Amino acid sequence: MTTKPLLGWNSFDSFGGYLHAEAAWAQLEAFARKLAPHGYQYFVVDIGWYGEYELKPGTMLPSPETKHAMDAHLDEYGRPLPSKCYFPEGFGALIARTHELGLKFGVHLMRGVPRKAVELKLPVWGTEGITCADIADTSSTCPWCHYNYGINMAKPGAQEYHDALVWQLAEWGVDFIKADDITAYPDEILAYVTAIRRSGRDIKLSLSHGGEADPQLMPVYRQADMVRITKDIWDDPESVERSFNAWAHWQPYTEPGFWPDLDMIPFGHLQTMSPEPERGELPEGRNPSLCGKGFRRRDQLDAVSRRTFMTQRLLSASPLMFGGDLTTLNEEELQLLTDAEALACNQNGVSAQIHYMRGDVQVWRAESRTDLGSGWMGVFNRNPARQAEDLILTADRLGMALGTRLHDVWAHESLGTLADRPHLKLPPLGCVFIRYDQARYEVGLTLPEPHQQPH
């Protein structure tokens, strides 16, 4: 179990299922330069790394009607191997370089056993006469990806398949597994947990959506390191609202060590391997089969929405998995991802609770685990009519002392104390992210300036 929310990069938002070796190397080196110095560790290759795609001639782009590959590269025991089209040299050198940089390497896996392994009746490693067909539950399928069947965990060989799969990844040096389409399948979650323990390697386990996450499965979820509590999040206002709703719904279940994963951060260049189709290439110029959402673009969030989006993830103590193209990050995006005061809130590991509401204005608050009387607040405007809102911060509304000192994290400026009754103007769907300190101020100690405060 992790003690702080994990920080990293995941290839899905920027590359869909089409990350290839040259791009992976470029992203890794950019990760080491731009994010690693700020505590980001996990470099995760998402779906498609074992898919054998039909490519457009002379490019690394998938053919126009390709969402997921029609073939998978497997070993003789039905375990996925890096694809020959996108990773012809395998993962060996890439993983070695990741570790050389002091970073961790992760991969995505679909729940279950590959359909190809079932059709070929490939043997389950470590068993006598048991095949992948024997353990498959062919009635259990993912509605959006055809790669795998579920596994009937009551069948002999079911746990052995998971053990062999995770053992192979551990031998490669994998440090993180994102298991997808799994949150509704506790038996298969526990199979991964068991396999990781048996592997002898410290591998973090991320559980991704497989039907709505169910609070009744909390005893199972808590054996993983992060759990998705929302569907895919993208660069649109609806995703911001969906994140608020999921965060509020899971408030009673959050605690240090259980991270309410609000999905990736889709800033910057997205869907870089999904260009707009040429006229006549697809009906109406659309491709409903892309892996991801939309076509090649820079994210559609404005500066206000980006701050709100990021403040959600910081205050909720969500794992921070950036999804955009690292090689083209601009200064605004990099600042949101790496601000030291903001990251201190996230790494505090306490998910904020709703503390005050007035109409469409909400104040979410998380107390510091180490500094008594200190913490962070987010004052959000959730007006559905996209109207500006105002709020005067007062001691009685917030349940704090008059001398509580307030600091605007994103603006890097003081808001004074609650005795000053700060007046906040909140743009549509905007927020003010505040670090507060009441205890040390009250006993007359002098606080360091915000940028000098130790973390």
**Delimiting residues of CATH 2.60.40.1180 domain(s) in the chain:** 353-452
User: Residue 423: beta bridge partners?
Assistant: 392
Q: Contact 148/138 with Cβ under 8 angstroms?
A: no
Q: How far apart are CA 311 and CA 307, in angstroms?
A: 6
Give the pLDDT score at 78. 98
Give the pLDDT score at 445. 40
Q: Contact 433/406 with Cβ under 8 angstroms?
A: no
Quickly name the fold that domain 353-452 has.
Immunoglobulin-like (2.60.40)
Q: Contact 13/325 with Cβ under 8 angstroms?
A: no
Instruction: Specify the DSSP element, H or E, that contains 389.
Output: strand 389-392
Angle value at C-alpha 384, between 383 and 388, nearest 5 degrees: 35
Helix (H, G, I), strand (E, B) or coil at 66: coil
> Any residues with CB less than 8 A from the CB of 216 and at least 6 apart, and which?
none
> Any residues with CB less than 8 A from the CB of 70 and at least 6 apart, and which?
52, 54
Q: How many CA atoms lie within 13 A of 288 on its CB side?
A: 3
Domain 7-347 in CATH 3.40.50.80? The answer is: no
Give the pLDDT score at 367. 95
Strand bridging mode 204-207 / 226-228: parallel
The pTM of this model reads 0.94
Q: For the beta carbon of residue 351, count every other beta carbon within 10 angstroms.
A: 22
Per-residue pLDDT of the chain (455 residues; tens, 9 = 90+): 678 999 999 999 999 999 999 999 999 999 999 999 999 999 999 999 999 998 988 999 888 777 889 899 999 999 999 999 999 999 999 999 999 999 999 999 999 999 999 999 999 999 999 999 999 999 999 999 999 999 999 999 999 999 999 999 999 999 999 999 999 999 999 999 999 999 999 999 999 987 789 999 999 999 999 999 999 999 999 999 999 999 999 988 888 777 789 999 999 999 999 988 776 565 554 455 578 998 999 999 999 999 999 999 999 999 999 999 999 999 999 999 999 999 999 999 999 999 999 999 999 999 999 998 999 999 999 998 889 999 999 999 999 999 999 999 999 999 999 999 999 999 999 999 999 998 654 444 444 444 444 33
Q: How far apart are CA 109 and CA 131, in angstroms?
A: 20
pLDDT in tens, 173-188: 999 999 999 999 999 9
Give the pLDDT score at 285. 45
Q: How far apart are CA 214 and CA 324, in angstroms?
A: 29
Place of tokens 């040429």: 278
Strand bridging mode 204-207 / 176-180: parallel
Helix (H, G, I), strand (E, B) or coil at 300: coil
Give the pLDDT score at 164. 98
**Delimiting residues of CATH 3.20.20.70 domain(s) in the chain:** 7-347
Q: How far apart are CA 101 and CA 95, in angstroms?
A: 10
Give the pLDDT score at 280. 58
Q: How far apart are CA 432 and CA 425, in angstroms?
A: 9
Instruction: Specify the DSSP element, H or E, that contains 414.
Output: strand 413-417
Give the pLDDT score at 447. 41
Q: Contact 309/301 with Cβ under 8 angstroms?
A: yes
